[in-house]
Amino acid sequence: MIYADNAATTQMSEKVIKAMLPYMEKIWGNPSSLYSFGQESKDSISFAREQIAGCIGATAAEIYFTSGGSEADNQAIISAAKIGAKKNKRHIISTAFEHHAVLHTLDKLKREGFEIELLDVHENGIITPEQVKNAIREDTALVTIMYANNEIGTIQPIAEIGEICRAAKVIFHTDAVQAAGHLPIDVKAQNIDLLSISAHKFHGPKGIGALYARKGIQLVNIIEGGAQERGKRGGTENVPAIMGMATALLDACANMAENNSKLLELRQKLIDGLNKIPHSTLNGDAEKRLPGNVNFCFEGIEGEALLLHLDDKGICASSGSACTSGSLDPSHVLLAIGRQHEIAHGSLRLTLCENNTAAEVEKIIVAVGEVVEYLRSISPLWKDKLIGKREFVLPE
Ligand X SMILES: *Cc1c(COP(=O)(O)O)cnc(C)c1O
Report which residue's Cβ sits closest to ligand X: 69
Q: Which of 175, 229, 251, 342 binds ligand X (CB under 6 A)?
A: 175
Sheet-wide strand order for 209-213: 63-66, 209-213, 194-198, 171-175, 140-144, 91-95, 115-119
Q: Which region, judged by CB under 6 A, interacts with ligand X, from 68-76, 109-117, 243-251, 339-347?
A: 68-76
Separation of CA 373 from chain center: 31
Q: Are 372 and 298 in contact (CB under 8 A)?
A: yes
Q: Which of 29, 31, 69, 125 binds ligand X (CB under 6 A)?
A: 69
C-alpha to C-alpha distance for 166 and 83, rounded to whole angstroms: 15
Q: Which region, judged by CB under 6 A, interacts with ligand X, from 20-28, 31-39, 79-87, 195-203?
A: 195-203
- Nearby residues of 104 by Cβ (< 8 Å), 6 or more positions away: none
Pairing of strands 322-324, 91-95: unpaired
165 is catalytic: no
Minimum distance, C-beta of residue 197 to ligand X, in the bound complex (Å): 9
Q: Which region, judged by CB under 6 A, interacts with ligand X, from 50-58, 79-87, 197-205, 283-291?
A: 197-205
Closer CB to ligand X, residue 90 or residue 99? 99
- By three-state DSSP, how is residue 67 classified? coil
Give buried/exposed letters for 183-221 (b at 16+ CB in 10 A, else e). bebebeebbbbbbbbbbbbbbbbbebbbbbbbeebebee
Residue 140 contacts ligand X per CB under 6 A: no
Ordered DSSP codes for 26-45: T----TT-SSHHHHHHHHHH
230 conformational bin, left if phi > 0, alpha if psi -120 to 50, beta if neither: left
Residue 84 contacts ligand X per CB under 6 A: no
Residue 99 contacts ligand X per CB under 6 A: yes
Q: Are 135 and 93 in contact (CB under 8 A)?
A: yes
Minimum distance, C-beta of residue 92 to ligand X, in the bound complex (Å): 17
- By three-state DSSP, how is residue 49 classified? helix
Question: Applying CB under 6 A, what is the total number of residues that bind ligand X?
Answer: 15
Residue 320 contacts ligand X per CB under 6 A: no
Q: Which region, judged by CB under 6 A, interacts with ligand X, from 69-77, 251-259, 273-281, 357-365?
A: 69-77
Q: Which of 101, 242, 252, 328 binds ligand X (CB under 6 A)?
A: 101
Residue 346 contacts ligand X per CB under 6 A: no
C-alpha to C-alpha distance for 56 and 76, rounded to whole angstroms: 17
Residue 52 contacts ligand X per CB under 6 A: no
Minimum distance, C-beta of residue 200 to ligand X, in the bound complex (Å): 6
Minimum distance, C-beta of residue 67 to ligand X, in the bound complex (Å): 7
Query: Catalytic: which of 253, 297, 316, 323?
Result: 323
- By three-state DSSP, how is residue 10 classified? coil
C-alpha to C-alpha distance for 115 and 91, rounded to whole angstroms: 5
Output the CA torsion sign for 240, 241, 247, 248. positive
C-alpha to C-alpha distance for 62 and 185, rounded to whole angstroms: 15
Residue 198 contacts ligand X per CB under 6 A: yes
Residue 144 contacts ligand X per CB under 6 A: no
Taking each helix axis from N to C end, the angle separating 239-254 and 256-275, rounded to the nearest 10 degrees, works out to 80
Residue 58 contacts ligand X per CB under 6 A: no
Q: Which of 29, 84, 204, 209 binds ligand X (CB under 6 A)?
A: 209
Residue 5 contacts ligand X per CB under 6 A: no
Q: Which region, judged by CB under 6 A, interacts with ligand X, from 175-183, 278-286, 327-335, 356-364?
A: 175-183
Residue 204 contacts ligand X per CB under 6 A: no
Closer CB to ligand X, residue 91 or residue 200? 200
Residue 146 contacts ligand X per CB under 6 A: yes
- By three-state DSSP, how is residue 297 classified? strand
Residue 249 contacts ligand X per CB under 6 A: no
Residues of this chain that bind ligand X (CB under 6 A): 68-70, 73, 99, 101, 146, 150, 175, 177-178, 198, 200-201, 209
Q: Which residues are known catalytic residues?
A: 323
